[in-house]
Amino acid sequence: MFPYWRYVTTNFLFKDILFVEGAVLIILGALVGGVTLYNAWVPKDVRQDQFTEYIWNWKKISEERHLPTGLMIGLTLIAFGIIYILLAILFQGFPR
């Protein structure tokens, strides 16, 4: 894998690193946020009976529960992943 980057410019290498890091952050953030949403916000009886009836009803969720820290971490990781990918797209336009 490293010989592929041996003779490329710094912008090209930086762009590839940003794409990879952005994808990893988005996947990790989606996993952390999704698991937190499912475990912390869905009551056990809903998981057994109706599976996920009101998981996206934000008004009902905010009335019953506090905002979990794991969700905020997951959303932050997704945001940083999107920023990294946008920066990589921006660096693609610069000359090599």
pLDDT tens string for the chain (96 positions)? Answer: 567 767 777 777 788 888 999 999 999 999 988 888 777 766 666 555 454 555 666 676 666 566 677 888 888 999 999 999 998 888 877 665
Q: Is the pTM of this model over 0.85?
A: no
The C-alpha atoms of residue 76 and residue 95 are separated, in whole angstroms, by 31
